[in-house]
Copies of this chain bind each other. A is one copy, B any other.
Amino acid sequence: MDLMTDRITREQIVGVAVELLARGGLHALAMRRIASELGVQQSALYWHFDNKQQLLGAVADRVVAPVVVPTGTTKDTPVEALTARLRGELLRYPDGAELVATAFAFRLGANDAYQHLVDELERAGSARPHAEIAASVLWHFVLGYVTDEQQHRQAAELGAIQPTTDEATLSADDRFTQAIDLILAGTSLSEASPPATLR
């Protein structure tokens, strides 16, 4: 599909890594599989990346790249829309949230997406130190929540769990939105209507 060059680039490596992630989750992201998909020895990857963590960082960057877009493209309140978009992108790949969380913890990926969240909070009216606290809360919640979501999805596919008959139980979407609203209510800039189920 690519123009045939025997030489391999970082971008190609990240490309097939993202494909493998999409198909089989983190489990499929083995150096040997990436290499064989490229028709190359595993050790060849180590000329382009110091180790697997750095490669995963680049994959994480690619996964969350779509959330870093110029503001004003959405008519929704920016911060709420941003968190919803982040969740959406993470859900596109199995283990997406876990991958990004790990990469970010090592500061090897997703740094731009995080910074974008801080910036949006500032533009929405939060002073610097407060915006950083709020961003930290929002970020860790989204990653933790979606990790949970995806792990359950996987467990359900293995038949380990039946889909918990949806009676009187909020959907994952609703619970997510309510949680984001709760957090934003704690920041003075609560654009969102305060949670209806207050007391």
For window 82-137 of chain A, which residues contact chain B by CB distance below 8 Å? 101, 104-107, 125-127, 129-130, 133-134, 136-137
Q: CA–CA, A198 to B125, complex, Å?
A: 10
Establish whether residues B188 and A186, one from each chain, have CB atoms under 8 Å apart when the complex forms.
no
Closest Cβ of chain B to A170, distance in Å, is 7
Min Cβ gap A88→B in Å is 18
Quote the shortest CB–CB distance from A147 to chain B (angstroms): 6
- Do A137 and B137 contact each other (CB < 8 Å), given the known contacts A182-B187, A186-B183? yes
Sample of 17 further A-B pairs with CB below 8 A, known A105-B148, A133-B197, A136-B141? A105-B152, A127-B197, A130-B195, A130-B197, A133-B175, A133-B195, A134-B182, A136-B175, A137-B137, A137-B179, A140-B143, A140-B145, A141-B141, A143-B144, A184-B186, A186-B186, A188-B198
